[in-house]
Structures are given as structure tokens and as C-alpha cells.
């Protein structure tokens, strides 16, 4: 008998013998299924109860201590600050002194304070309304030829005469003046009176030529030079813009130059 025949005989004998009884019946399967379903329902119910307990604690924490009054939840988000609160918390630039100014000249807040001076006020009153200068004077320029539209000098001019802010630059010649000089030339309008406003800083030892026509005011500066403020009307016999305020402009610029 071959091995295959012996193996076939063994299978026949095994199939002919009585099978062992099953380890479970229909009733046991049903009972086990019910127990599993009950455990799952209990777990879901327990989780829901825990969630309700946590939510109840959060609501209770927001209840007022007294017996009256409406309850507010403790989990409510804090309200965002309004524009007014943000504006109050923003740092103010008006507190900076002129000694902390950058090379670009005085701040806009200083110009705003300068604008408070009444156009018709006398020189002492106008100067008292302007901020006190505590910084270092500009002194002579550092370019090879004088900057005759000096932005730093113009910033000071606009501070004492806010009306000329944004005024167009006046025409200048191509003459190369000494590099230590500074200048500003503006086409201005003084309440309908148009003309040319010229401000020049002359370093120590520089001769001052006499401007032709109009009105001119001179004053010694803190650096030992001279500031020359002049204005003339648009025509030969026209009224001079800012004629009554040139003294104030010179007095304001003197300690700054």
C-alpha cells in the first residue's frame, strides 16, 4: 500500500467516526451577544453622563454668588478691545523732544503745535506758542556746493510757518554757493498774497549780499552764523507775503541753526 492509499484510508476512518459535541449552542451565542450589546450601551451612557457632569461644573462656576441675577457662563470669551481702547494704548509721538529727532527734521506733532500760533499774534506770543528747542543746532552744511533747497532747514521753516507746508520750490540759479550754506526757496501764498520766501543760513565768516526788493530780517545763530529771512511779492510793487512774521521766523530759526 502506498503512502497515498494509507492517507486516504485514515481520512475515511476519521469521517466515519462520531464527531465530538459542539462547545456552544444557539442559546449560548444569543446570550453572549446580549452581554456584549449591554456592555457597549453602558459605556456610551457612562461617557454621556461624564460629559454632562463636566458641563454642569462649568455652568456652576459662572453662577453669581447671590440668589438673584442672571447667570453667565465662565467659558465665555473675553470681548476684544474696541478702537478707543487701542487708540489710548498706542504710544504718543508728541512726547519726544526735539533732541531726539532724526535727520529728517522736526516731527509732525511739533508742526501741529506750531499751527496753534495765531497768524496775527505778536512775536513774543507766537514764539511762546512754539515748542522750546533743546537739541543741537544744524550748523554749516556738508555738501560741496550749498544745498539751496535743504530739506532739514525746510522742516524748521514749515514748523514755524505751517502755511508753507507743501509749497512748490522756487526757481534758483545754478550758481555753486559755498558748501557750508543752507537755503530754502519757496513759492508761497499768504492768504491770497503770493510771492517768494527765501531762507538762508550763512556759516561764520560768510558775507551776506543784500537781497533786492521785498523785506529782509537777519539774526545771529547758535552756531555762530547768520540766518537771513526774506520775502518779496510776485510783482515789483505787490504786497509781501508773511511780511509781519519774518521776525518770528528768524527768531525761531536762530537757536536751531
Express each pLDDT in 19-47 by its tens digit. 556 555 667 766 777 777 777 777 766 66
pLDDT of residue 80: 44
Lowest mean per-residue pLDDT among 112-116, 134-138, 212-216: 112-116
The model scores a pTM over 0.85: no
Q: Which residues of 96-107 are buried (b: 16+ CB within 10 A; e: fewer)?
A: eebeeeeeebbb
Sorted by where each begins, the domain ranges of the chain are: 142-257
Average pLDDT over residues 123-145: 79
Give the model's pLDDT for residue 205.
87
Q: Report DSSP letters for 127-147, one per residue.
A: HHTSPPP-S----S--SSB-B
Residue in 220, 221, 212, 213 with CA at minimum distance from that of residue 240: 213
The Cα 194–Cα 187 span in angstroms is 7
Contact call for residues 149 and 174 (beta carbons, < 8 A): no
User: What is the C-alpha to C-alpha distance for residues 182 and 159, in angstroms, rounded to an integer?
Assistant: 17
Phi, psi (degrees; rounded to nearest 5) at 52: -65, -35
| Residue 183 near residue 150 (C-beta atoms within 8 A) | yes
Nearest to 107 by CA among 118, 96, 91: 96
Q: What is the mean pLDDT of the chain?
A: 73
> How would residue 127 be classed by pLDDT, with cut points 50, 70 and 90?
low
Where residue 194 falls among pLDDT bands split at 50, 70, 90?
A: very high
3-state secondary structure of 124: helix
Contact criterion met (CB below 8 Å) for 208 and 230: no
Amino acid at each position: 500500500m502506498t503512502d497515498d492509499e494509507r492517507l486516504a484510508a485514515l481520512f475515511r476512518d476519521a469521517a466515519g467516526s462520531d464527531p465530538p459535541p459542539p462547545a456552544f449552542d444557539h442559546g449560548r451565542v444569543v446570550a453572549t451577544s446580549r452581554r456584549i450589546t449591554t456592555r457597549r450601551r453602558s459605556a456610551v451612557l457612562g461617557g454621556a453622563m461624564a460629559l454632562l457632569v463636566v458641563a454642569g461644573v462649568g455652568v456652576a462656576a459662572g453662577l453669581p454668588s447671590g440668589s438673584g441675577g442672571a447667570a453667565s457662563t465662565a467659558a465665555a470669551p473675553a470681548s476684544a478691545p474696541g478702537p478707543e481702547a487701542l487708540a489710548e494704548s498706542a504710544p504718543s509721538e508728541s512726547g519726544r523732544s526735539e533732541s531726539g529727532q532724526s535727520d529728517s527734521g522736526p516731527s509732525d506733532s511739533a508742526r501741529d503745535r506750531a499751527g496753534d500760533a495765531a497768524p496775527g499774534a505778536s512775536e513774543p506770543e507766537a514764539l511762546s506758542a512754539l515748542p522750546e528747542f533743546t537739541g543741537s543746532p544744524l550748523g554749516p552744511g556738508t555738501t560741496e556746493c550749498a544745498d539751496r533747497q535743504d530739506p532739514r532747514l525746510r522742516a524748521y521753516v514749515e514748523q514755524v510757518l505751517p502755511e508753507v507746508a507743501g509749497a512748490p520750490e522756487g526757481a534758483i540759479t545754478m550758481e555753486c554757493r559755498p558748501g557750508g550754506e543752507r537755503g530754502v526757496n519757496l513759492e508761497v501764498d499768504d492768504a491770497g498774497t503770493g510771492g517768494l520766501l527765501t531762507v538762508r543760513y550763512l556759516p561764520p565768516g560768510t558775507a551776506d549780499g543784500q537781497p533786492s526788493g521785498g523785506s529782509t530780517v537777519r539774526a545771529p545763530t547758535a552756531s555762530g552764523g547768520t540766518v537771513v529771512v526774506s520775502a518779496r511779492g510776485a510783482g515789483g510793487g505787490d504786497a509781501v507775503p508773511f511780511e509781519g512774521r519774518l521776525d518770528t521766523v528768524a527768531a525761531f530759526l536762530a537757536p536751531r541753526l
